[in-house]
């Protein structure tokens, strides 16, 4: 499961600079994970070259696209409600076309097009370059669909427009798809097998961002740690690569080193990691470079070995704890965050207690916690009975959240008295007199504006905190400026 973009940005309609020669209007919304938001930038870039400017006014759009997520049932229900809204507008503006992109599109293609007739086109995550052709089909009165999963599409040749951008931070996709067949997850079925993007195209995109004044990038993938470029193709086929391909292959620690050295004044994050694929070499690269953020998002999902096996997570509780010990030893100032699922099928009270005891061992800085919801098409959905009651799931989730809250407070308090480097991202939500940004550990920091500006790296002395926010005062610009 991948980090979900914060709730306030879910369903945000996205806008980029208009081209005067473009005559059609595109309204595009995104739901779900960071990969979906990154994909929407690719789609907008393709359509910008094909006559479309973006709009935030739904009623005036010629084309409405919703980029969907199948990770959680709630996301699917939200998208269905939005499709009803689009179709109500479509009755007033019959020329308007509606399309579904992304993971949900792949999974519910026939339902959307044939049974419910609520969309005109359905486009899977690997077919965005086919959008101009599909739109031509729609213009001629035919339904259009392309959900074919690719073995090699990485969109490395598309320069994404930055839709929700503050001009400071950006997402850079480095892998697509996933080979880890976790029984609760739809990603391998909706995004295909894992393949990596050519390193030079990644460096070129980061150079373009640097030239435009961006200060921080997040290297993005369903599983960034298993990045492996050997000339193209699926990761699972690396075993049959030539000796030359194997000798010149680039893996994640090498890519991370390349980016850190190539852009010493740019801050680097990455997400999402998988415990079974995170190698010690990556930890040493993080420790070595000041511009690589000291935060590792390390989903565990459960603290019970029995449930981890049922989930087909290819790590044990003990292996995970050993990895945590390694992180603490090599990067002592690193923050660690988690994903956790409460109430997976057959989960007993003892399994739940194992999760709580693992949390007590790690004491995460923050996390993303959910109760299990069955996803059709997954192995768990097909083979396992969802046998934990909603009441039990809710209670266990609350106990996980309560424990996380306690640990978040304790971890935040550790920063009091320290001076941390903060990249100023925006004006604080609570006060127009304060700036907000994150430190290297990905914890939000707020401080009085004074004469600083958005995009500055500022050293801030921390005086107080809440469980999720550090508060302090600026003591000067950092060496990263």
Residue numbers belonging to the annotated binding site for [4Fe-4S] cluster:
33, 69, 103, 178, 182, 185
Angle at 269 between CA 337 and CA 47, to 5 degrees: 115
Q: Which residues contact 451 (CB under 8 A, 6 or more apart)?
A: none
- Treating both helix axes as pointing N-terminal to C-terminal, what angle do 280-288 and 252-262 enclose, rounded to 10 degrees? 10
Q: What is the dihedral of CA 254, 258, 264, 265, to 10 degrees?
A: -100
Cis peptide, bond prior to residue 272, ω within 30 of zero? yes
Q: Could you give the CA distance from residue 308 to residue 306 in angstroms, rounded to a whole number? A: 6
Q: Which of 369, 292, 387 is nearest to 334 (CA)?
A: 292
CB atoms within 10 A of CB 236: 12
Could you list the beta-strand ranges (E) of 247-361: 250-251, 267-271, 295-297, 335-342
Between the two ends of the chain, the Cα-to-Cα distance in Å is 35
C-alpha atoms less than 13 angstroms from C-alpha of 107 in its C-beta half-sphere: 21
Beta bridge partners of 339: 368
Q: Could you give the CA distance from residue 261 to residue 321 in angstroms, rounded to a whole number? A: 31
Q: Which two tokens stand for residue 168?
A: 């400071």
Q: Which two tokens stand for residue 177?
A: 């798809």
Binding residues: 33, 69, 103, 178, 182, 185
User: Cβ(339)–Cβ(390) under 8 Å?
Assistant: no
Cα distances (Å, whole numbers) of residue 329 to 333, 407, 443: 9, 20, 21
Cα distances (Å, whole numbers) of residue 304 to 100, 269, 277, 293, 346: 37, 29, 19, 30, 12
């Amino acid at each position: 499961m991948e980090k979900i973009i914060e709730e306030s940005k879910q369903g945000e309609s996205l806008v980029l600079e208009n081209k005067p020669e473009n005559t059609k209007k595109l309204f595009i919304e995104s739901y779900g994970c960071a990969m979906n938001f990154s994909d929407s930038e690719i789609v907008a870039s393709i359509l910008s070259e094909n006559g479309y400017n973006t709009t935030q006014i739904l009623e005036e759009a010629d084309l409405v696209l919703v980029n969907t997520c199948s990770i959680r049932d709630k996301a699917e229900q939200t998208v269905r409600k939005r499709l009803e809204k689009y179709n109500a507008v479509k009755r007033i503006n019959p020329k308007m076309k509606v399309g579904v992109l992304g993971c949900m599109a792949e999974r519910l293609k026939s339902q959307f097009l044939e049974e419910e007739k609520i969309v005109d086109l359905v486009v899977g995550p690997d077919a965005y370059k086919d959008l101009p052709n599909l739109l031509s089909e729609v213009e001629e009165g035919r339904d259009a669909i392309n959900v074919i999963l690719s073995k090699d599409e990485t969109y490395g040749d598309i320069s994404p427009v930055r839709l929700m951008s503050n001009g400071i931070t950006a997402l850079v996709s480095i892998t697509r798809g996933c080979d880890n067949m976790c029984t609760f997850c739809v990603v391998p079925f909706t995004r295909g097998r894992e393949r990596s993007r050519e390193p030079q195209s990644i460096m070129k995109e980061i150079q373009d961002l640097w030239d435009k004044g961006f200060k921080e990038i997040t290297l993005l993938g369903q599983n960034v740690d298993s990045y492996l470029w050997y000339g193209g193709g699926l990761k699972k086929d690396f075993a049959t690569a030539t000796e030359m391909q194997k000798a010149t292959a680039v893996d994640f620690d090498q890519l991370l080193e390349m980016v850190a050295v190539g852009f010493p004044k740019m801050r680097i994050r990455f997400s999402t990691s998988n415990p079974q694929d995170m190698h010690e070499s990556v930890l040493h690269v993080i420790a070595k470079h000041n511009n690589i953020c000291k935060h590792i998002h390390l989903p565990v999902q459960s603290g019970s070995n029995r449930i981890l096996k049922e989930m087909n997570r290819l790590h044990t509780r003990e292996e995970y704890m050993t990895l945590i010990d390694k992180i603490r030893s090599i990067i002592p100032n690193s923050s660690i965050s988690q994903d956790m699922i409460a109430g997976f099928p057959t989960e007993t009270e003892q399994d739940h207690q194992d999760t709580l005891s693992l949390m007590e061992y790690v004491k995460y800085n923050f996390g993303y916690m959910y109760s299990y919801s069955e996803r059709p098409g997954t192995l768990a959905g097909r083979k396992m009975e969802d046998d934990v009651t909603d009441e039990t799931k809710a209670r266990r989730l609350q106990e996980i959240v309560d424990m996380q809250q306690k640990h978040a407070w304790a971890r935040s308090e550790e920063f009091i008295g320290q001076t941390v480097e903060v990249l100023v991202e925006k004006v604080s939500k609570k006060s127009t007199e304060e700036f907000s940004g994150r430190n290297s550990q990905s914890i939000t920091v707020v401080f009085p504006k004074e004469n600083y500006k958005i995009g500055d790296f500022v050293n801030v002395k921390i005086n107080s905190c809440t469980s999720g926010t550090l508060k302090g005062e600026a003591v000067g610009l950092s060496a990263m400026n």
